[in-house]
Structure 1
Amino acid sequence: MSNSARTARLHYMANGFRMLTQGDHVLCAVTREPIPLDHLRYWSVARQEPYATAQIATQAIHGDRAS
């Protein structure tokens, strides 16, 4: 079974995630860039959103305080 090019739907938990809909990637909540599931490291449990990088996650969760 190949999930190639299918967006997964996940439930994000504190120490991992549960697959709700099969796929091979999710889209970053901020940039909309695809994140392969094996590279997914950053998400918000409260917002149920994935992020491509730690910097994007920090900005999304805490707001851009540098501005």
Structure 2
Amino acid sequence: MLMMNRNKEARLHYMANGFRMLSSGDHVRCAVSGEQIPLDELRYWSVALQEPYASPEISVKAALGKR
């Protein structure tokens, strides 16, 4: 029963210093690459756009509008 959220995409609200889970899951998808990001590895996101990124390089490109 503890693994009910395995392979389920979470919905998150991104804040400046973290995120709040709106819908349970174990991963999110990068807004640019579509790559699956496990929640325990999620480090990059945009508060303004409310979207996660798989790497610092991708987050910089998204911030500069170079998707």
SS of 2:21 mapped into structure 1 = strand
> Could you tell me the percent identity over the aligned residues?
64
How do 1:18-37 and structure 2 match up within 5 A?
A: 18-37=20-39
Distance 2:7 2:53 in 1: 18
Distance 2:29 2:65 in 1: 20
Q: 1:61 maps to what in 2?
A: 63
AA aligned opposite 2:43 = R
SS of 1:30 mapped into structure 2 = coil
Q: Does 1:50 align with 2:36?
A: no
User: Aligned-pair distance for 1:63?
Assistant: 2.8
Unaligned runs of 5+ in 1: none
RMSD in angstroms over aligned alpha carbons? 0.7
Distance 2:59 2:33 in 1: 11
Q: How many residues align?
A: 64
Q: Note the alpha carbon deviations across 1:23-61, whole angstroms, 9 max, x for none.
A: 000000000010000000000000000000000000001
Unaligned runs of 5+ in 2: none
Q: TM-score, normalised by structure 2?
A: 0.92
Q: 2:42 maps to what in 1?
A: 40
